[in-house]
Amino acid sequence: MKQKHPLRIIPLGGLGEVGKNMIIYEYNDESIIVDSGIMFPENDMLGVDYIIPDMQYLKDKKKTVLGIIYTHGHEDHIGAVKHVLDIVQAPIYTTQLTRGLIEAKLARNGNGQRADINTIKAGDQVALGPFMIDFFHVCHSVPDGIGLGIHTPQGLLVHTGDFKFDQTPVDNWPTDFARLAELSQQGVLALMADSTNSERAGWTPSEKVIDQALDNIFREASGRIIVASFASLISRMQQVANTAEAHNRKIAFVGTSMVDNAKISRKLGYLKIPDSQFVSLEQALKMPPSQIVLMCTGSQGEPSSILGRLADGRHSQIDIQMGDTVILSSHPIPGNEEVVYRTINRLIRRGANVLYESIAPVHVSGHASSEELKLMLNLVRPQFFVPIHGELRHLTQNARLGVQVGIDPENICVVENGQVIEFQNGYMRKAERVPGSYVFMEGSVVGGLGPDTMQEREKLSQSGILIVNVILDTLTGALRDEPEIHSYGFYLSPETLLKQTIRDAIPRANGNLKEALLKAIRAQVYEETLRRPLIDVNIHRI
C-alpha cells in the first residue's frame, strides 16, 4: 500500500561531529526524539563550557513530539536532556539505570520535578502514534543500554545506539542477537548504526581481558592502588571491586560523580559490591596501603578532577607516594592526549607506578570495531544504511564497510547534522537542510557566543591586549597628561618608545585620531616585539 507521507529522519547531533547525539524520527507531523547529548569543547573553542545540538527545528515542531527515548546513560546521549525539556513537554522512555542517571543529572540542575519518565526494559514494546518501538539489549561501556527497532508506516528501522558485540561482558548480558535476527526476519528498511570505531580493524576485545590485567597488577602491587576511570563506566567499577575482593583489598570511591553513580548503580542492582567491601575515603586513608583500592575520576587529565589534583599535589586528603600504583582505565578522548600524558608524567614524577592503555590492557572500548559492524550489517540485512554516531571520517568508513558486505552504494547515505533524509515507498532521498551546527554553552548564555567573540578570544589568547588611555584638551587638542599604557597577556619592555610614538602621532593626525593612533601604536609595538596584540585606544577629551 502506498503511503502518502514520507518517514523523515532529522539528525541534529552526532553525525559529522563527535558526541552530542540526537535524532528526530518524524511521520506526518508526529515525531519521537532519540537521545540528546552534549559534546565537550575542542581545544580551540575558547571559554566554551559544553556544546549542545542546535534545537531550532525542534522548537518549530515541539508540539509534534510524542516521546523522548534515551538509549543509555552517557553524557553524549543524555547530557542535553534539560535543554530538550526546556522546549518539549513529552514523556521520556528509558531503562532503569539510564533513568537513574538522568534523574540524578536533572536533580543537580534543579529540574527534577519536570521530567515524566517511563521505565522500560529490553524486550518491551511501546507504541507512540505511528511508531511502534521494540527495545533490544545492547552491550556498551555502561550497563542497561538499548537499541531500537522502530516500526513505521514506511517500514522498519533499526537504530543501534552505541554498542559492541562483547560475548563475555562484565554483566554477562550480551547484545541481543536473537532479537536482532527476529527484526531482520521482518525485513529492515534501514539500519542506523554506530560508527565510532569503524576505523578499527577486527573485533573490540571483550571487557573480560581487563580482569586478567587487573589481577596481574593487583598481584604485583604492594602499596596503595588508585584506579581512575569514567564515572559512568559502571562495569569497570564492578571489575575493580571484584579484583579488590580477590586480593583482600577494600574499595573506596572518591569524587562526587563517582560516588553518586556507584550509589545509584548499587541501589538499582547494576553494581554488586557487598557492604563489607566498601569503605569511605577517610577509613581507607587510615588502613595499611596494601589493603585498599581507591577508584576516582580524572582519567582524561582534567586538572580539577581527583587524579589531576593528585598529579599536581593539590588534593587536600591524599598525596601520591612512592609505592603507589595508579591505573588509568580509559582511553584519551581526542584533544585530551596532552593533558592525559602530562598527568601520567606528573604521577610518575611523584613516585607512582603508572599503568595505562599503551603499556597494559587496562581498558577496552565500548564500541564495535569494523568486523562487529559488518556482523551487524549482515545480521540486520537492511535495504538502506545510514551510519550515525561519528565524525564524517567515521561515517564514511562505516559506509565503506557497508559496501564491503554488499550493500548497494546508492543505498548508503552519509550525511551530517541538519541534513534531513526521507523514506517513501521503498525509496530514500535527501530532503532539505535544517539548522544542525554547534550551539556553544557558556555560563548562563545559550548560543550567545558568536564567531566575533571567539575570534577576539583567539587573538587575546595568542598576544594579549594593550590598553592606551589618552586625555586631550578639548580646546587645543593637545595631551593633558602622559598617555597611560597598560596590558594583559602581553609584555612590553619598560624601555618602550610607545609614549613618544603617541605624543608624536597626535599633532600629526588628520581626520580620525583614533585610527591614526591605532596605526602608529600597532607599528611601534610590532617593531619592538614582532607581535600584534589587540590594541584598545580610549580618547577622552576634557
Residue 195 CB partners (closer than 8 Å, separation 6+): 373, 387, 388, 389, 390, 394, 395, 397, 398
Alpha helix positions (H), 350-450: 370-380, 392-404
Q: Is 93 in the site for its own copies (CB under 8 A)?
A: no
Q: Which of 1, 322, 359, 475 binds its own copies (CB under 8 A)?
A: 359
The string of DSSP letters for 250-316 reads EEEE-SHHHHHHHHHHHHTTSS---GGGB--HHHHHHS-GGGEEEEES-TT--TTSHHHHHHHT--S
Q: Which of 193, 196, 183, 149 is nearest to 32 (CA)?
A: 149
Applying CB under 8 A, what is the total number of residues that bind its own copies? 66
Query: Using CB under 8 A, which residues numbered 407 to 436 contact its own copies?
Result: 416
**Using CA atoms in the order 451, 456, 458, 462, what is the torsion angle rounded to 10 degrees?**
170
Q: Which of 313, 351, 477, 489 binds its own copies (CB under 8 A)?
A: 489
Contact range with its own copies by CB under 8 A, out of 211-219, 329-337, 371-379, 404-412: 329-337
Q: Which residue number, 118 or 321, has a Cβ lying nearer to its own copies?
A: 321
Least spacing, CB of residue 340 vs its own copies, in Å: 9
Q: Which residue number, 319 or 338, has a Cβ lying nearer to its own copies?
A: 338
Q: Is 199 in the site for its own copies (CB under 8 A)?
A: yes
Q: Is 351 in the site for its own copies (CB under 8 A)?
A: no
Q: Is 529 in the site for its own copies (CB under 8 A)?
A: yes
Q: Which of 449, 466, 498, 502 binds its own copies (CB under 8 A)?
A: 449
Question: Residue 333 is placed in which grid cell?
Answer: 578522548
Q: Which of 42, 103, 215, 245 binds its own copies (CB under 8 A)?
A: 42
Q: Which of 443, 451, 494, 507 binds its own copies (CB under 8 A)?
A: 443
Give the integer Cα–Cα distance in Å for 82 and 36: 9
Least spacing, CB of residue 295 vs its own copies, in Å: 22
Q: Which of 88, 90, 114 is nearest to 102 (CA)?
A: 114
Q: Which residue number, 42 or 245, has a Cβ lying nearer to its own copies?
A: 42
Contact range with its own copies by CB under 8 A, out of 83-91, 147-155, 221-229, 453-461: 453-461
Q: Which of 391, 422, 423, 502 binds its own copies (CB under 8 A)?
A: 391
Contact range with its own copies by CB under 8 A, out of 129-137, 260-268, 381-389, 439-447: 439-447
How big is the chain, counted in residues? 542
Q: Is 460 in the site for its own copies (CB under 8 A)?
A: yes
Q: Which of 338, 408, 432, 482 binds its own copies (CB under 8 A)?
A: 338
Contact range with its own copies by CB under 8 A, out of 40-48, 61-69, 229-237, 293-301: 40-48
In angstroms, the Cα distances linking 176 to 44, 96, 182, 186, 215 are 41, 18, 10, 16, 29
Give the integer Cα–Cα distance in Å for 12 and 54: 7
Give the integer Cα–Cα distance in Å for 395 and 408: 16
In angstroms, the Cα distances linking 114 to 52, 91, 268 are 20, 10, 22
Q: Which of 105, 49, 44 is nearest to 75 (CA)?
A: 105
Least spacing, CB of residue 79 vs its own copies, in Å: 18
The secondary structure element, H or E, covering residue 324 is none
The dihedrals phi and psi of 493, each to the nearest 5 degrees, come to -60, 145
Contact between residue 498 and residue 525 where contact means Cβ atoms under 8 Å apart: yes
Q: Which of 167, 256, 404, 461 binds its own copies (CB under 8 A)?
A: 461
Q: Is 448 in the site for its own copies (CB under 8 A)?
A: yes
Q: Which residue number, 44 or 408, has a Cβ lying nearer to its own copies?
A: 44
CA atoms within 13 A on the CB side of 269: 2
> Exposed, middle or buried: residue 398 (CB in 10 Å: 0-12, 13-18, 19+)?
buried
Q: Which of 186, 358, 425, 500 binds its own copies (CB under 8 A)?
A: 358
Least spacing, CB of residue 272 vs its own copies, in Å: 34
Q: How many CB atoms lie within 10 A of CB 57?
A: 19
Q: Is 383 in the site for its own copies (CB under 8 A)?
A: no
Task: Name the residues that contact its own copies, by CB under 8 A.
Answer: 16, 42-44, 46-47, 199-200, 334-335, 337-339, 341-342, 344-345, 348-349, 354, 358-359, 391-393, 396-397, 416, 442-445, 448-450, 453-454, 456-465, 467, 469, 471, 480, 484, 486, 488-491, 528-531, 534, 536, 538, 540, 542
